Chains A and B, each alone.
Chain A
Amino acid sequence: MKASNMLTPMVLLVSIMLMGGWSCAGRPFDPPQAGEIPREPGVFTTDAEGAVLYDSNKESLPPASPSQTIATSSAGTDQPAATSGYEEFEAYQQWLLWKKSAVGTPEYEEFQQWREWKKYQEWKK
């Protein structure tokens, strides 16, 4: 390998080592992979990984109530807390609007993670 060609790999390597040093400060995340199917809900599905053909947990899980699906994430995305009656419906409408506009944002990603986490908690019970 020509010496000049070594420059780029060395720069990349040093960059990664520096970032490794920062790794205590950064929160890990799964970056998107170029060329792959996006990790997000599709046009027919709400699940980021596709349509669920079979889920052994589903039968044992109680159906999600509005108070479970409408809650405040740690990112402060302001999904309304559960109330009752018409106020709850209005809050739900607001949340739907937020959900539509927030696709692709870090808050939306965190919300999806939060949903998965809640599902996992239910499954563990």
Chain B
Amino acid sequence: MKNNFFKYLSYSSTVAVIILLGLQPVQAVEVKLSGQINRAVMWADNGNDSEVFNVDNDNSSTRFRFTGSEEVNDSVKVGVVWENEFQSNASNKVDIGQENDGTSEFNDRKLEAYFVMPFGKVSIGQGDGAGNGTSEEDLSGTTVIMYSGVGDTSGSIYFRDNDDNEIATIGNTRSNFDGLSRNDRVRYDTPKFGGATLSVSGTNGDAYELAARYSGDFDGLGKITAAIAFVDANKRADPEYTQIGGSVSWLHTSGINLTVSSGSRDIDNTSTDPVNYYGKLGYKFDIHAIAVEYGVTEDLAQDKDESKNYGLAYVIKPWNGVEFYGTYRMYELDRNGTSNIEDIRQVMVGTRVKF
């Protein structure tokens, strides 16, 4: 039934697009190039040893992007997005003991076409699944260095015991359960109804995502953005699972801001249902943004695991397209039957330059 639904969705969308495109003359065409360099120096200490790395900040990797759009008639806009990242020594791939430049990776992020019509937007190709970003709503102004995806800054660093035995990586024990990330999909977004949007996407492995988003700017109260998604990974994951995740972020007119994110996964044939809680309190003023965070993921790598972190971040944006940032994070892992697991500490200082 699900498969039929998505086949019907994709076929009917295609037919609708063809009809609506008609043979109208092109009215406006735009092609744009943009991108960013995001590099940092990172110090990390796993309790037994420490290292300094030159990394590409995986919170928002170095990349470039071509976008093009054309208003083919009064009611249809056709667009394309082609975005690739190019990371040398990504911050989520390094571990203590690495003494070289690591690997350089050229990865596709988005390769999609979209059609904006009066009844909504249809996208096809590799791009954000409907649920991507729903656990990452964040108005703090510090996401370049600190957000709910805590594994992006040091996900491959191992927790070790005091005899230096590897226990688990940060990335294996943490997740913000943020949809299915980017994938090859067909996606439909409704038009905005007073700031609210509904989205659905279907991808390979018969997986699908449903999402709802809302964003509103209130006089006196400030800005609020919220999102929630349901994901059925179906055969795309082994074991299969369903997942629900969401987040809410509020930026008061004073600059004080609060962000919460949470999600959980229901994994087939197991009694382990991992869950994540994340909170951030910040203050944004002038060109500055500061924030503190706390997050915990339970039962992800193993039942009764409790992997948590505390963090502090500062971002300054002195000029157009330029940010400097710094963060301190501490990660802890509590695991049943394993004692003396050392905490991991991390400091990261860097810059993101948009072009």
Contact B65 A27 (CB under 8 A): no
In the bound assembly, the distance between CA atoms of A36 and B266 in angstroms comes to 28
Q: Is A53 part of the contact surface with B, judged by Cβ < 8 Å?
A: yes
Q: Do B34 and A22 touch across chains, with their CB atoms under 8 A apart?
A: no
Let me know if A103 and B320 touch, CB within 8 A: yes
- Stretch of B116-124, B165-173, B192-200, B327-335 with 4 or more beta carbons under 8 angstroms from chain A: B192-200
Contacts of A34 in B (CB 8 A): 59-60, 133, 136-138, 143, 147-149
A114 → chain B, closest Cβ, in Å? 15
Is A44 positioned at the interface, with any CB of B under 8 Å from its CB? Answer: yes
**Is A66 part of the contact surface with B, judged by Cβ < 8 Å?**
no
The answer to the question of B214 belonging to the interface, with a C-beta cut-off of 8 Å to chain A, is yes
Contact A56 B26 (CB under 8 A): yes
CB–CB A36/B60 < 8 A: yes
Q: From B228, B273, B352, give the contact of A12 (CB < 8 A).
A: B228
Nearest B residue to A110 by beta-carbon distance? Answer: B217
A40 surroundings in chain B (CB, below 8 A): 320-321, 354
B60 close to A31 (CB less than 8 A): no
How many residues does chain A have at the interface if contact means C-beta atoms less than 8 Å apart? 52
Q: If the complex has contacts A29-B223, A31-B139, are A42 and B355 also in contact, measured as CB distance less than 8 A?
A: yes
- The answer, yes or no, to whether A55 is at the interface (CB within 8 Å) is yes
Shortest C-beta distance, A40 to chain B (Å), equals 7
Contacts of B353 in A (CB 8 A): 42-43
Q: From residue 49 to 71 of chain A, which have CB atoms closer than 8 A to chain B?
A: 49-57
Whether the pair A37, B65 counts as a contact (CB closer than 8 A) is: yes
List the A side residues contacting B320 at CB < 8 Å: 40-43, 103
Chain B residues whose CB sits within 8 angstroms of the CB of A96 once the complex forms: none
Tell me whether B29 is interfacial, beta carbon within 8 Å.
yes
State A88–B217 Cα separation when bound (angstroms): 34
A54 touching B218, Cβ below 8 Å: no
- B32, B60, B63, B217: the one within 8 Å of A52 (CB): B32
Interface digits, B5-49 against A, CB 8 Å rule (1 contact, 0 not)? Answer: 000000000000000000000101111111110000000000000
Known: A15-B248, A43-B322. A38 touches B214 (CB 8 A): no
> Is the C-beta of B54 less than 8 angstroms from some C-beta in chain A?
no
Contact A43 B319 (CB under 8 A): yes
Within 8 A of A (CB), among B241-286: 242, 244-249, 262-264, 266, 273, 275, 277, 286
In whole angstroms, how far apart are the Cα atoms of A23 and B149 in the complex?
28
Of the residues A27, A35, A103, contact of B149 by C-beta under 8 Å: A35
Q: Is A87 an interface residue (CB 8 A)?
A: no
Q: Provided the pairs A20-B214, A23-B195 are in contact, do residues A103 and B31 lie with their beta carbons within 8 angstroms?
A: no
Contacting B29 at CB < 8 Å: which of A20, A36, A55? A55
Find chain A residues with CB under 8 A from B147 CB: 34-35
Q: List 21 A-B contacts (CB under 8 A).
A: A8-B262, A13-B228, A23-B214, A25-B218, A28-B215, A28-B216, A29-B215, A29-B217, A29-B223, A32-B143, A34-B149, A35-B136, A37-B34, A41-B321, A42-B321, A52-B31, A54-B31, A56-B28, A56-B30, A57-B30, A101-B286
9 residue pairs, one from A and one from B, having the closest CB atoms: A26-B216, A50-B34, A23-B194, A28-B195, A12-B246, A8-B262, A42-B321, A31-B225, A34-B143
Besides A23-B193, A43-B321, A101-B286, 17 other CB < 8 A contacts? A1-B264, A9-B228, A12-B246, A13-B246, A23-B194, A23-B195, A25-B216, A28-B195, A29-B223, A31-B139, A34-B137, A42-B353, A42-B355, A49-B67, A56-B26, A56-B30, A57-B28
User: Residues of B at under 8 Å CB distance from A?
Assistant: 26, 28-36, 59-60, 63, 65-67, 133, 136-139, 141, 143, 147-149, 152, 192-196, 212, 214-218, 223-228, 242, 244-249, 262-264, 266, 273, 275, 277, 286-287, 317, 319-322, 352-355
